[in-house]
Amino acid sequence: MNIDQRLIKKIVVALYEAEVNIVAHAYEGVVDVEISPSQINLILRDKGPGIPNVDEAMKEGFSTASQKVREMGFGAGMGLPNIKKNVDLLEIETTVGVGTTLKMTKFFNDATE
């Protein structure tokens, strides 16, 4: 598809951060990916604790990671902020005690990258 390597790196970073959040916080999760010539859409759905305060969770350094997760080198509170920095569109749907859905879009024709 001849996608710029810089865009691929941004997609990989966003997807990695979202996957780590599922593994660190949820009980189970699913990743759906749709790629077209103009964009990639990633939808990650999990069953887990949900996010009590999305605005707070979007602040760099805020983390609800367990001590065990932190001991493994994760939980620095950069997941959601890094996702937002690396995609063009980010939607977060969350219900405490039920789970979270992240919808991310990265456009391939962004000449500013």
Angstrom distance (rounded) from CA 83 to CA 17: 7
Residue 112, pLDDT score: 52
- What domain count does the chain have? 1
40 falls within a domain:
yes
Mean pLDDT (the chain) is 90
Kindly state whether residue 112 falls inside one of the protein's structural domains. no
* CATH number of domain containing 84: 3.30.565.10
Retrieve residue 109's tokens. 């024709």
Strand ranges across the sheet with 28-35:
28-35, 39-47, 99-107, 89-95
How many residues make up the chain in this entry? Answer: 113
- Give pLDDT, residue 69: 77
Domain containing residue 18: 5-107
3-state helix, strand, coil in the chain (%, to 5): 35, 30, 35
pLDDT tens, the chain, 113 aa long: 889 999 999 999 999 999 999 998 899 999 999 999 999 999 999 999 999 999 998 888 778 777 887 777 777 767 899 999 999 999 999 999 999 999 999 999 865 54
- For residue 111, the model assigns a pLDDT of 52
Does any domain span residue 55?
yes
Query: Is 113 a member of any domain?
Result: no
Distance of CA 112 to the CA centre of its chain: 22
Helix axes 5-25, 79-86, angle to 10 degrees: 150
